[in-house]
């Protein structure tokens, strides 16, 4: 009988993390539903506030990001609208986003500045199919081990084939994870500095709010960014990392 109660008590303890996680997700879903209701009744201010709070917690969906971009555009906060569209583009994908971002850049500045640097089709493909490529890698590794230990002459060649496929997939995943530059959207007007200091020499560069830049380095409250041939340091509060 004591073993039975020990087993029940163990299950009871193990259920706590799961129950807590479920409750957390339910709370986030409830907030999302509340924000959706505000949005449907054109109450954009409370909807934006809740959506952005959810986003800060790492909880977002494609429709929510599009709605944030739309509401920020209505509020004439064009850099923020571009930021959420870039987030959709990077995490999910979407059609005609570059054209829309260019339109928002025209609205954000009368100088018709560049929208900056997006991602290549290859980079977006790997990002959007990262899970599937990881799955293929796992399958290739399993099949390699399977055919290596099969007692037939032809299986070694098959094992080598799957090993090569696994190496290709692994190389793609590692390259995507470690070598691509992080990107950010310039969220506010800022000076561009020669070095990470407000006392440093500053440049007049054609990089305006809403432009997408590459983050090359971060030091304290500073980031070294690049767009095309232009490179400078900006304070972190002036950009928003994607």
Binned at pLDDT 50, 70 and 90, residue 92 comes out as very high
Q: Average pLDDT over the chain, rounded to whole?
A: 89
- What are the helix (H) ranges across 92-222? 97-108, 121-128, 130-148, 155-178
Mean pLDDT of 25-43: 92
Q: pLDDT at residue 88 above 70?
A: yes
Q: With contact defined as beta carbons under 8 Å apart, do 211 and 159 qualify?
A: no
Higher pLDDT, residue 21 or 126: 126
% of the chain surpassing 90 pLDDT:
71
Q: Rounded to an integer, what distance in angstroms lies between the CA atom of residue 68 and that of residue 46?
A: 12
Higher pLDDT, residue 4 or 117: 117
Closest C-alpha to 46, from 55, 35, 57, 62: 35
Q: Can you name the residues that pair with 218 across neighbouring β-strands?
A: 223
Closest C-alpha to 210, from 91, 55, 104: 104
Higher pLDDT, residue 233 or 20: 233
| 206 Cβ contact partners less than 8 Å away, ≥ 6 residues apart | 111, 113, 114, 230
Mean pLDDT of 46-57: 96
Binned at pLDDT 50, 70 and 90, residue 8 comes out as very low
Mean pLDDT of 48-70: 95
Q: pLDDT at residue 41 above 90?
A: yes
pLDDT of residue 11: 45
């Amino acid at each position: 009988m004591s073993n039975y109660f020990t087993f029940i008590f163990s299950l009871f303890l193990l259920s706590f993390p799961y129950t807590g996680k479920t409750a957390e997700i339910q709370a986030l879903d409830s907030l999302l539903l509340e924000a959706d209701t505000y949005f449907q009744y054109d109450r954009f201010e409370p909807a934006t506030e809740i959506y952005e709070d959810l986003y800060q917690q790492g909880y977002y969906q494609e429709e929510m990001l599009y709605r944030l971009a739309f509401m920020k555009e209505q509020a004439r906060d064009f850099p923020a609208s571009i930021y959420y569209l870039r987030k959709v583009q990077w995490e999910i994908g979407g059609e005609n986003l570059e054209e829309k971002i260019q339109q928002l850049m025209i609205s954000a500045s009368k100088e018709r500045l560049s929208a900056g640097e997006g991602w290549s089709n290859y980079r977006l493909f790997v990002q959007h199919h990262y899970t599937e490529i990881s799955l293929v890698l796992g399958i290739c590794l399993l099949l390699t081990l399977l055919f290596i230990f099969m007692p037939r002459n032809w299986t070694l060649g098959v094992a080598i084939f799957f090993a090569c496929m696994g190496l290709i997939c692994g190389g793609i995943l590692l390259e995507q994870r470690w070598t691509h530059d992080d990107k950010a959207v310039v969220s506010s007007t800022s000076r561009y500095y020669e070095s990470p200091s407000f006392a440093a020499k500053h440049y007049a560069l054609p990089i305006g709010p809403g432009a997408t830049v590459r983050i090359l380095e971060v030091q304290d409250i500073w980031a070294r960014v690049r767009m095309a041939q232009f490179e400078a340091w900006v304070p972190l509060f002036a950009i928003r990392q994607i």
